[in-house]
Chains A and B, each alone.
Chain A
Amino acid sequence: MVSVRDVSKTFTSRKKKVKALEKVSFEAKPGEIFGLLGPNGAGKTTALRIVSTLLKPDEGEVKVNGFSTLKQPQEVRKTIGFLTSDMRLSGNLSAKDLIFFFADLSRVPRDVTQKRMKELADYLDMNDFLERSVDKLSTGMKQKAAIAVSLIHDPDVIVFDEPTNGLDIITSKTVTDFLRDFRERGKTVIISTHVMSVAEKLCDRVAIILEGRIVENDKLKDMYARYSTDNLEDVFFTVAEKEGVLEDA
């Protein structure tokens, strides 16, 4: 369970202040995929980084499985698997080396790591390239390796920034199938995306974020009912127009 309450965040760059998040609140529950939908620069990545303890909120509170990201960051990190499409595995280590490295960082015993790695490799179809240097892997293989790396400590919550960004159609399918499976196992999944079809296909609940503010947050079917439509695009543009974001663009 992830609960974000009235979180604000401002960045200062060259004496210029940029408000990235303003009083953002949302909740993601176990057994559901929660999506943050918004255009580039809306504050999605900042929100996910705050949830993952990479950034600290200026105001508000974030709790992951009851642990505060500010007061108990180490406890939060134990329960989180963090993945970003920006992450480009590189170097001379093999996928197996990296899996063991991240397992060691999470203090997973070696025999448990071995067992989980086998399960993940079977599930993600990684056995053929497990021993290969990551520099020699294709983008899809790297993404699978990154997923395995972030899940080796069996987290309850997975935070995935732009999960299908830059992936080919087959790897995208592997990733979305994996996220659905993760949900079925009662885990909490939070993703960010700027692609409406991804949010539509994958998420149970969606929050639309515009210019650092959550302007809509509901289950998809309830949202469709309120806006008398059957697609997210209509909802998004209606909300964006109401908020004056389209004029700014």
Chain B
Amino acid sequence: MLKDSFVIYRKELKNIMKDRRAIFSVFILPMIILPIIFLTIGFVTSAQQRTDAETLYVVNIIGDEDGRFTEVLQNFLVFERDEARVPDYTRAMESENYIIVELEGTDSDLTQVGNTLDARIYYRSTSRRSNFAAQQVRNALNQYSSMIMSERLRTLGLSLGDLNPVKTEMQDLAPEEARGTEFLAIMLPYFVLIFIFAGSMNIGLDTTAGEKERGSLAPVLVNQVSRTSIALGKVFYVMTVAVLNSLFTFVGLMVAFILGGSEAFGGEIPVNLAGFGIGSLIALLLVLLVLAGFAASLIILIGSFARNMKEGAGYVMPFYLLAIFAGIATMNMESVHQIHFYALPLVNSVFVMKDILTLQFFWSRFVVMLLSNLLYTSLLVLGVARLFNSEKVLNTGS
């Protein structure tokens, strides 16, 4: 039976390997799209931040008679003062780089307890630059506030440090090789889940519903190989493409991080791969294999039900969205402890991937995930084989 499946498998694989567009979209695109996306986002974000910081802002500071706040603000923002001293709210509303800071109370002695300074910042929240300038003014006001507080404490013979009697020091006890893997544990399972489904969707539907639509399935069925072999050959083929697709996605993700694409997610994020040994990689590959097997058999089953590609795409879409939802929902979650979660399809693979990536391997979780996914895949393959053995696979009318 497996020999016959291999004939189907070899033919399908040969067909896709001769299709340049398919090779590009299934294998090359995932490898280059992530670095391109990450680097583009990183480049755009840092370019915006640089532009925001380098822009010359006009700040109308009202009430800073002694100029002390203006002096502090110079450490935070490149600006020139609007000398009008009259607030021009219309300009603040229309301009991206004009904000107003109103200070009330600078005429009193702020070193005296009871005297306060009221500060109001007028800016436009819909403008990125105006937001940046307002944020920098807030930072400057915080520093100004600390300065005043220090002066008050000095009159009482105290310092700012005296207000913080508790000194905190964090000691990370995680193994050194496991540090810096959190970000990978957040991102990789999500991308793997999406690309496994996205990678197998089109080819899975093409080899089932597509063949039916083209009329090329019937001649294959009128052959002496068993229908179960045909079904298995197709599942193996889709599974292979899905696994390759995910592996290339993984490579793409690594390239993106190495090239500094993690800046796209808020700056330098340490990505540590030093702790990955051959054992971790084999475990990761096994997760990928069973996940791809599950996705492939599910898509082949759905595709075999559908009469054409369009109908098949409609049937598959909810499952694809479910995979995306599972990816997003578990993105920031840590692996759960309850063992029954590892029997849930999709999320079990995500949790075990997180375990492996953060170098916390639990055999019990891994085995439950592996066995449950194998069970689901077997049931789905059984369903595909039954469908192929019935005349419903052709969905004929008359």
Contact = CB atoms under 8 A, between A and B. Distances in A.
B249 to A, nearest CB: 24
Interface stretch (B103-111, B131-139, B389-397): B389-397
Interface string A32-56: 0000000001010110010011111
Given A13-B397, A92-B15, A93-B18, A82 B222 contact: yes
B215 interface: yes
Contacts of A13: 397
Given A88-B214, A92-B19, A78 B224 contact: yes
A91 B15 CA distance: 7
Nearest to B397: A11
Nearest to B206: A91
A224 interface: no
Interface stretch (A97-105, A110-118, A190-198, A235-243): A97-105
Interface in B1-29: 4, 7-8, 11, 14-16, 18-19
B8 to A, nearest CB: 8
A127 interface: no
B221 interface: yes
A219 B397 CA distance: 30
A232 interface: no
A88 B15 CA distance: 15
A53 B7 CA distance: 21
B222 A90 contact: no
B219 A102 contact: yes
Given A54-B218, A88-B214, A97-B14, 10 more contacts: A45-B398, A53-B221, A53-B222, A77-B222, A92-B18, A93-B14, A93-B15, A105-B220, A107-B224, A146-B219
B23 to A, nearest CB: 10
Interface string A55-95: 11000000000000000001001101011101111111100
Given A46-B398, A87-B219, A88-B214, A54 B391 contact: yes
Nearest to A104: B7
Contact count band on B:
20 to 34
A133 B220 CA distance: 19
Contact of B7 (A45, A80, A101): A101
Contacts of A97: 11, 14
B218 A84 contact: yes
Contacts of A41: 398
A175 interface: no
Contacts of B396: 11, 45-46, 49, 54-55
5 contacts: A18-B398, A80-B222, A84-B218, A87-B214, A88-B215
Interface in B205-243: 214-216, 218-226
Interface in A2-40: 11, 13, 18, 20
Contact of A74 (B18, B220, B224, B394): B224
Interface string B344-372: 00000000000000000000000000000
Contact of B215 (A18, A56, A78, A87): A87
Contacts of B214: 87-88, 90
B15 A106 contact: no
Given A54-B394, A133-B18, A90 B219 contact: no
